[in-house]
Chains A and B, each alone.
Chain A
Amino acid sequence: MTSHPDIGQVRAFEPSALELERRALRRARKRRSLLVSVASTIIFAGVLALALTSSPGWARVRDTFFSPEVAIDAFPRVIEGLWLNIQVLFFAAIGVAVFGTLLAIVRTLKGAVFTPLRLLAAGYTDIFRGIPLLLVLYIVGFGVPGLELTGRMPAQFWGTIALILTYSAYVSEVLRAGIEAVHPSQRLAARSLGLSHAKTLRLVVMPQAVRKVTPALMNDFVSMQKDVGLISVLGAVDAVRAAQLEVAASYNFTPYVLAGILFVLLSWPFIRVTDWVTARAQRREQIGGVV
């Protein structure tokens, strides 16, 4: 057996010269790649900025789309509108979670008795994934009030309903994929303990299913976050509608850009959290991740 005098008997608490050299090398390499990425980002941004600002129409575009004065003027109304978006989003998200889960569970029911329910749920998801959200908004927002079942409800109420109807269809399909991806042996093990079908679903299957499809669910949530802006077509004064009114008043498109930036800022923390959660789950479930 080979035994190197200088590295044979070291403990990891006091790394050998070789290991220290290796670590220094890895550090240097990391530093270099960081430098390269910073440099290439700066160059890329610079080229982009230069191409934009040196274009012949830049001065006009800057004044009509990126005017700071107009942005400051429009800010209070647009942010007020955004608050409505957030409220709608809050209730729509809860509604979608409940209704989407219900649909997914109905679609995975096994018994023959449930055939009509299953077909209904399948038909529902097919139809509502097929209709453009805009049409659902029009039909629900202008059609359902015509039935005069309720008193006068604000436009955002119907907008929320329309969002729930459409997004539940998407979310239920994602959840169903998750439920079916949980290995049958898990169900078997749960039933063997004497857990009922419902308890098996709630305590064993759903937690694993949701974990499997979290990235897809988050994706749907972010997508809904911006589709909330579509309720403006019903007349609700949300961020998009508020921006539209400001544009009409000032003959300047900056409020649109402002609303766009606010929507991005709204979804950004959530996107980052999503990435973080996904990465953490992956680290836990996959060992030997150096490959």
Chain B
Amino acid sequence: MSHNSGSAVGPVLRVEGVVKRFGDHTVLDGIDLTVDWHEVVVLIGASGSGKSTLLKTINLLEQIDDGRILLGDEDISDPRANADRIRGRIGVVFQHFNLFPHMRVLDNVTLAARQVLRVPRAEAERTGIALLERIGLGAKAREYPDRLSGGQQQRVAIARAIATDPELLLLDEITSALDPQLVGEVLDLVGELRAAGSTIVMATHEMSFARRVADRVVYLKDGRIIESGPPEQIFEAPQRAETREFLSRLRDPFA
């Protein structure tokens, strides 16, 4: 896949000292994170550790209270930045798919291309069909989302997010709402995107998948990055006691 490599020099994303507070509660407490081109960064951590909030701040769905976020070399946390244009450069997949139920699968996938990038409908649909065929859902293009299984819906949501060829893909616990037997097909697709060179930041509870697909695993706790490194290090030789404790609890919840 070809990417808008307009700013191919330097990292895709730089998060610098980001703080986010809800009232007195500090959700993100000085997060620093750099994501390079074609890198897959996996965020792990308990519920409430700030994974989702971090993804939301990157997509400007939450305003940050301090620090800076740069996409390419543009400061997207600057109030003067055009949020719609920046969001157009980032693809997002949500936990609950958030497909538009009143639109056919193909219209879901082509909506941004047609309405934001002003691509003519015929051209957008050609691209959309090709994309759906690539993910094995070409036959479902004219169906409504409620006719699809959860796994298929989530794959359509991924197709919708990558249809406009974004620089960065944010995946927010995309398998958490799926039945266990449907998780595989969605994660396989993420693996394919990685092989095709997508730059991805994802939050997940699927540790075995994180291990397989991540270039770097970041462990968050109480809004801070406790440890960050290649999956071998995090999962086999975690340096910090908190990480060890978190992982051992996952392996044996009754410990």
Contacts and interface: CB of A to CB of B under 8 A. Distances in A.
Same complex for A and B? Answer yes
Interface string B2-41: 0000000000001011010100001001101110000000
A2 interface: yes
B240 to A, nearest CB: 15
Given A3-B32, A10-B30, A25 B79 contact: yes
B61 A288 contact: yes
A226 B61 CA distance: 42
A51 interface: no
A15 B68 contact: no
* Max count, chain A CB within 10 A of own CB: residue among B19, B33, B78: B19
B80 interface: yes
Contacts of A10: 17, 19, 30, 66-67
A12 B28 CA distance: 10
A88 to B, nearest CB: 43
A9 B68 contact: no
B67 A2 contact: no
Interface in B31-63: 32-34, 56, 60-63
A214 interface: no
B168 to A, nearest CB: 16
Contact of A2 (B14, B19, B79): B14
A16 B66 contact: yes
A291 B79 CA distance: 14
Contacts of B63: 290
A199 B60 CA distance: 44
Nearest to B70: A2
16 contacts: A1-B32, A1-B34, A2-B32, A2-B34, A4-B16, A7-B66, A8-B17, A10-B17, A15-B65, A16-B17, A16-B66, A22-B78, A25-B78, A26-B79, A288-B61, A288-B62
* Max count, chain B CB within 10 A of own CB: residue among A1, A3, A4: A1
Given A12-B21, A19-B65, A2 B16 contact: yes
Given A4-B68, A9-B30, 10 more contacts: A2-B34, A3-B16, A7-B16, A7-B17, A10-B30, A11-B30, A12-B66, A15-B65, A19-B67, A291-B61
Contacts of B67: 7, 10, 16, 18-19
Contact of B65 (A3, A4, A12): A12
A91 to B, nearest CB: 43
A18 B68 contact: yes
B16 to A, nearest CB: 5
B154 interface: no
Interface string A212-236: 0000000000000000000000000
User: Would you call the interface of chain B mostly helix, strand, loop, or mixed?
Assistant: strand
B62 to A, nearest CB: 6
* Max count, chain A CB within 10 A of own CB: residue among B63, B68, B80: B68
Interface residues of B, number: 25
B77 interface: yes
Contacts of B60: 290
Interface in A123-181: none
Nearest to B65: A12
User: Would you call the interface of chain A mostly helix, strand, loop, or mixed?
Assistant: loop
B115 to A, nearest CB: 15
A29 interface: yes
| Those 4 A-B pairs whose CB atoms lie nearest each other, nearest first | A7-B17, A19-B66, A12-B19, A8-B17
A12 B65 CA distance: 7
A38 to B, nearest CB: 22
A9 B17 contact: yes
B34 A22 contact: no
Given A15-B65, A288-B61, A8 B16 contact: yes
B204 interface: no
B228 interface: yes
A29 B77 CA distance: 15
Nearest to A26: B79
Interface string A1-43: 1111001111110011011001001100100000000000000
B17 A1 contact: no
A9 B33 CA distance: 14
* Max count, chain A CB within 10 A of own CB: residue among B17, B26, B56, B60: B17
B32 A290 contact: no
Contacts of A291: 61
Interface string B177-209: 000000000000000000000000000000000
B33 to A, nearest CB: 7
A280 B30 CA distance: 31
Interface in A274-291: 288, 290-291
Contacts of B79: 22, 25-26, 29
Nearest to B218: A1
A8 to B, nearest CB: 5
Nearest to B34: A2
A22 B17 CA distance: 15
